[in-house]
Amino acid sequence: MKLFDMNSIKALQTQIKPELLFKVGWRGHQYVLAGYPHLRAFLTFDGYNIETEPDININTEEIYFDHKENIPLGDSIFQDAVACPEFFALIPPDIRDIVKIFSDSHWKILSAISNIPRFRELIESNSAIAYLLVHIEEFNPSFKLYHDFFYIDLLLPRRQREILGLAGFPASDQAINITRKIAADAINIRNLKTLRAILARESRTGLVKILSHSPVITSRMLQLFARPEVLDIISPNYIKALLNDNKFSLYLNSLSDIARRGKQFGVKFKFTRFEELPQTLIKANEKIEKARLDEEKFPLPPIPGNEYIIPLKNFREQRSWARTQNNCIGGTVKFKLVKKGKSYFYKILYKGESATFEVRIREKSLVAGDLLGFKNKPVTSDLRKYVLEWFDSGKKGRVFDCGKSLK
């Protein structure tokens, strides 16, 4: 961002024909725009003009200023775009046709063409690499040290593979051919970063092969390929059907959730019939839920409880009681102790007092563990006496270790 005083801005304006200058008001601020081929924008503020970079949409002929102070939460700068048809009328039709193929960054691309005419040739050769070049600081932060047109002018004579290499892509002919196939409406920073990750992931050579043989690479393809967990649970035929479905985004998120939770609870899937997907998702969720309940279910308590001493029979109960008592039994370590049959926890509600009691399970015996109140404070002697009498009586009867009887 550059700061100019009023005298310097007036001097600059004398170099530009008056008919190429436009004053635009937006959210109480005054902007001065220089039209094509100059493409400069200034925010007038406190006697100074701050050079800024708006965004424009050549297709809708709208201007957006990225000035976000005091914008309500959830609001968007795109809700009150500024219309200035005279500004857009200065852009030559052939240049408009080149720039409008991109879904965003029209100001950056238009400025690059205006300042470096041969940049147009790169767009016509490989529009994705051209877009990458005007945003290369997003892929290689070291370029933030340079002015936009300086590094574009510096890098433009280089081979396309060198530009890709500087942006963290494989510097290969294969990468050039793949980027050349990206549909114009799929070219954006997020998708290019996704593609970079795919090309750099050696374990995903199959995806690279698919991209290499695809006539066109769509945004949906890149969104899907960014979810390797989904690709692991669907067949190749499934991919094509999913990409062409109207509910692509919904199904992609659902499949990703199924894959993630299935892995968490040890449930494997391989979906092959896309036409059965809605029913398949329902059944998969039911299978995962059953596995989750089995995972969280504890062995039988070594001593049956009573109305005052209640065994915590699953992870949810144990975690909930830990929060109520503000103690540490809700963590993974304690959970694993119970699952492995080494400990069991009971909640105590006796004469208005609450506590937690641990029964430690040895190979052929039970041992009384900690008996602690709220926030691990000591319990009353009355409660301690009651619990230990229950424990001594219970361990003489039938007890269990991981579901097996203790003698």
Same domain, 338 and 378: yes
Same domain, 269 and 352: no
**pLDDT of 356 higher than 90:** yes
pLDDT on residue 147: 63
Same domain, 284 and 326: no
Residue 381 covered by a domain: yes
**Higher pLDDT pick, 32 / 191:** 191
pLDDT on residue 41: 86
Same domain, 319 and 257: no
Residue 182 covered by a domain: no
Residue 46 covered by a domain: no
Q: Give mean pLDDT, residues 386-404.
A: 72
Residue 255 covered by a domain: yes
Same domain, 352 and 282: no
Q: What is the pTM of this model?
A: 0.70
Residue 388 covered by a domain: yes
Residue 85 covered by a domain: no
**pLDDT of 276 higher than 70:** yes
pLDDT on residue 25: 78
Residue 336 covered by a domain: yes
- For 136-195, write each residue's pLDDT tens digit: 999 999 887 766 677 788 888 889 999 999 999 999 999 999 999 999 999 999 999 999
Length of the chain: 407
Structure tokens at 336: 């694993």
Residue 95 covered by a domain: no
Structure tokens at 28: 């109480």
266 — pLDDT class (breaks 50, 70, 90):
confident
Q: How far apart are CA 5 and CA 381, in angstroms?
A: 81
Same domain, 274 and 328: no
Peptide bond before residue 37 is cis, with ω within 30 degrees of 0: yes
pLDDT on residue 71: 47
367 — pLDDT class (breaks 50, 70, 90):
very high
Domain count along the chain = 2
pLDDT on residue 160: 93
Q: Give mean pLDDT, residues 342-354.
A: 95
**pLDDT of 316 higher than 50:** yes
Instruction: From 271, 296, 321, give the residue that closes a domain.
Output: 296
Q: Give mean pLDDT, residues 348-354.
A: 95
- For 290-313, write each residue's pLDDT tens digit: 888 887 788 899 999 999 999 999
75 — pLDDT class (breaks 50, 70, 90):
low
What's the chain's average pLDDT? 86
Instruction: From 296, 327, 359, give the residue that closes a domain.
Output: 296
Element (H, E) at 130: helix 127-134
Residue 318 structural domain: 309-406
Q: How far apart are CA 369 and CA 19, in angstroms?
A: 87
Burial of 339 (0-12, 13-18, 19+ CB in 10 A): middle
CB 70 within 8 A of CB 77: no
